[in-house]
Chain A
Amino acid sequence: MFTPLRFLSLSLLLLWMISMNSLAHQALPYCHLIKAEQGNTLTFEISVPANTHWYLLSWHTPFDAWFSNFLTLTDLNSHQSLQYQGALAKRGEPTDEDYLLLPAGESLSVSLDLAQAFAIRPGRYQAALRPLRLYRDLNDKAQSTSLECPTLEVNLP
């Protein structure tokens, strides 16, 4: 017998199945910044869930230090962001080599010496990265996902 209740539960089941499917499809990497023990060094780390690999366009990410302005450092006292003193590069279209393979279940990290790109005075700062652009398949670059890494508040010497 077809009751409204049964229809509702079927619909909910269907919705649940769709959402599970899309969640599995979107098992996104996790990215974050970590303050190193000493000095003005941050470590950027991106960790990929098991079962699925991703590609990251390395431009405008910590893997591109310091040829683009991918990090904003804001002085939490004055609310002013520090002037970027690194390089800005003009490039053509990215080639496959510009996409970094993020293997399933692995983590990649890179260390960022902030003193190479900012004149830092001692203080408390917020570090914010540009959103990352992730791809599942280099043959289908129209399908891409933007990933925001959480900001980090740090005391810099």
Chain B
Amino acid sequence: MSKLFKLSTLAIASTLLSQSALAEGIAAKLQMSQDSFSSDQDVMVTLTLTNEANVPVKMLKWFTAADGVEESLFKVSADGQERPYLGAHYKRPAPSHKDYIKLKSGESISYQVELSSLYDMSATANYEISYDVSSMQLFAPNPGQAKKLARLGVEGIHSAPASFYLEGREFKGGNNKGKPGTGDGGGTTPDGISFTGRCSNSQQSDILAGLAAAKTMSADANQHLATASSNSQRYSTWFGAYSSSRWNTVSNNFSKIDSALNNEPLTFDCSCKKQYYAYVYPTQPYKIYMCNAFWSAPTSGTDSKGGTIIHETSHFNVVAGTDDIVYGQSGAKSLAISDPSQAIQNADSHEYFAENTPNLN
């Protein structure tokens, strides 16, 4: 997810910003939110564009971060080596009038951009970043202006670099295990966990915390099913009256969930913007799409990040092939009473059994 906030339109350029470069009167400046970042922190940069010419200038929005970052706007390097852009390149029709923003003489506009979801920042390194847009489309189409730019050799806008230190999440294979060119973004951790769909640093660390909680929950669920007596209140609350065949099915489901979480190459995608917690395609293991509600969920407990990962993993046909028959704790409890054979096929029933909140024996 690219985090973008339109900050404000300032009448004058701020003197706090040290770097600048001029092209046809537009200066680009970058300022990092911090000098150094840990692997779970989002990397925020403020881009300020200032019209230093004495006439108004129109710029194509696509290259300004006004609508989010939809092009590679920055050049990023880690210890001198260029890092690939992981975000989307949009194929678009020719720009129309409304695709331009106008900056009056002396006017500035600032945008905040989250970089770790857009560029491969898996390596621990000193990073250098500059705004680097070379497109003859950058400025409004105007025959006189195009000729003038060509004569001056102006190809776009480039800022001086800003630098920062980042402690990377060191994906497998060292420096760079992103998937440049797929437009997908991400990398693979030493445990075989992959990220796609522009997961930022903080999202990756949220997912890894949720996964750790899910593993704890599935181990505990397995332990309970292996040792508890048949009058387990925890079992009957979520899966209904005891029968040895249903108990075996649930045990089998949880041992497969536990095995998938610990042994299979899980992929987490961060591109979903819906109000869901998450979704999966049951026929496509082991990719889980995280959505808006996931990010605000607690790590463990009811409807948590860990429980969501249990729920989604249970859906894969190669795992437990569960469905969403009812949703929510009250629905799952009612289903356990009314139809235990359905309860053992319901994803939320598995999730709530694993979350075990409030605690039952």
B257 to chain A, nearest CB (A): 15
Q: Does A122 contact B (CB under 8 A)?
A: no
Within 8 A of B (CB), among A63-98: 67-69, 83-93, 95
Contacting A88 at CB < 8 Å: which of B275, B303, B323? Answer: B323
Could you tell me if A87 and B277 are in contact, using CB atoms closer than 8 angstroms? no
Interface of A is mostly: loop
B324 touches A90 (CB 8 A): yes
Minimum C-beta distance from A129 to chain B (A): 15
Contacts of B315 in A (CB 8 A): 88
Q: Chain B 292-314, CB within 8 Å of chain A: the 1/0 string?
A: 01000000000100001001100
Partner of B274, one of A59, A83, A89, A93: A89
Q: Do B277 and A92 have beta carbons less than 8 Å apart? A: yes
Q: Which residue of B lies closest to A87 (CB)?
A: B279
Partner of B282, one of A84, A90, A93: A84
Q: Give A90 to B349 CA distance when docked, in angstroms.
A: 12
CB-defined contacts of B293 to chain A, threshold 8 Å: 91-92
Q: Are A90's CB and B278's CB within 8 A?
A: yes
Q: Is there an interface contact between B275 and A91, defined as CB atoms closer than 8 Å?
A: yes
Q: Is the CB of A88 within 8 A of B277?
A: no
Tell whether, in the assembled complex, residue A90 and residue B283 are in contact, meaning their CB atoms are under 8 Å apart. no
Contact B281 A85 (CB under 8 A): yes
Q: Does B280 sit at the interface, judged by CB under 8 A? A: yes
Interface size on A, residues (CB 8 A): 17
Chain B nearest CB, measured from A30 CB (Å): 26
Question: In the bound complex, what is the Cα–Cα distance between A91 and B311 (angstroms)?
Answer: 11
Alpha-carbon separation in the docked complex, A68 to B348 (Å): 14
A92 and B351 CA atoms in complex are apart in Å by: 13
Given contacts A69-B323, A83-B317, A88-B323, contact A93 B281 (CB under 8 A): no
A69, A86, A89, A95 — most chain B CB neighbours (10 Å): A89
Contact, CB under 8 Å: B281 / A87:
yes
For residue A84, which residue of chain B has the nearest CB?
Answer: B282
Q: Tell yes or no: B347 within 8 A of A by CB.
A: yes
Q: List, in ascending order, chain A residues with CB within 8 A of B242's CB.
A: none
Q: How far apart are the CA atoms of A89 and B277 in the complex, in Å?
A: 7
The tally of CB-CB contacts under 8 A between chains A and B is: 57
| Residue pair A67, B317 in contact (C-beta under 8 Å) | no
- Complex partner residue of B324 from A68, A93, A95, CB under 8 angstroms: A68
Name, among A60, A85, A90, A92, the residue most crowded by chain B CB atoms within 10 Å (CB to CB).
A90
Q: Closest chain A residue to B311 by CB distance? A: A90
A89, B283: Cα distance in complex, Å: 14
> Is B279 a contact partner of A89 (Cβ separation < 8 A)?
yes
- What's the Cα separation between A129 and B323 when bound, in Å? 15
- What distance in Å separates the Cβ of A72 from its nearest Cβ neighbour in chain B? 11
Which B residue's beta carbon lies closest to that of A95?
B275
Q: Please report the C-alpha to C-alpha distance between residue A86 and residue B280 in the assembled complex, in whole angstroms.
A: 8
| The residue from A59, A86, A89, A93 contacting B278, defined by CB atoms under 8 A apart | A89
A95 to B280, CA, bound (A): 22
Measured CB to CB, the closest approach of chain B to A145, in angstroms, equals 17
Interface of chain A residues 9 through 50 with chain B (CB within 8 A)? none
Q: Are A88 and B328 within 8 A (Cβ)?
A: no
Q: Which residues of A contact B308 (CB under 8 A)?
A: 90
Interface residues of B (CB under 8 A from A): 274-283, 289, 291, 293, 303, 308, 311-312, 315, 317, 323-324, 327-328, 347-348, 351
Q: List 10 other contacts, CB 8 Å, given A69-B323, A83-B317, A88-B315.
A: A67-B279, A83-B283, A85-B281, A87-B281, A89-B279, A90-B312, A90-B348, A91-B276, A91-B277, A91-B293
Residues on A close to B: CB < 8 A? 59-60, 67-69, 83-93, 95
27 examples of A-B residue contacts, CB within 8 angstroms: A59-B327, A60-B324, A67-B279, A68-B324, A69-B324, A83-B317, A84-B282, A85-B283, A86-B281, A87-B280, A87-B289, A88-B279, A89-B279, A89-B324, A90-B277, A90-B278, A90-B308, A90-B324, A90-B327, A90-B348, A90-B351, A91-B276, A92-B275, A92-B277, A92-B293, A92-B328, A95-B275
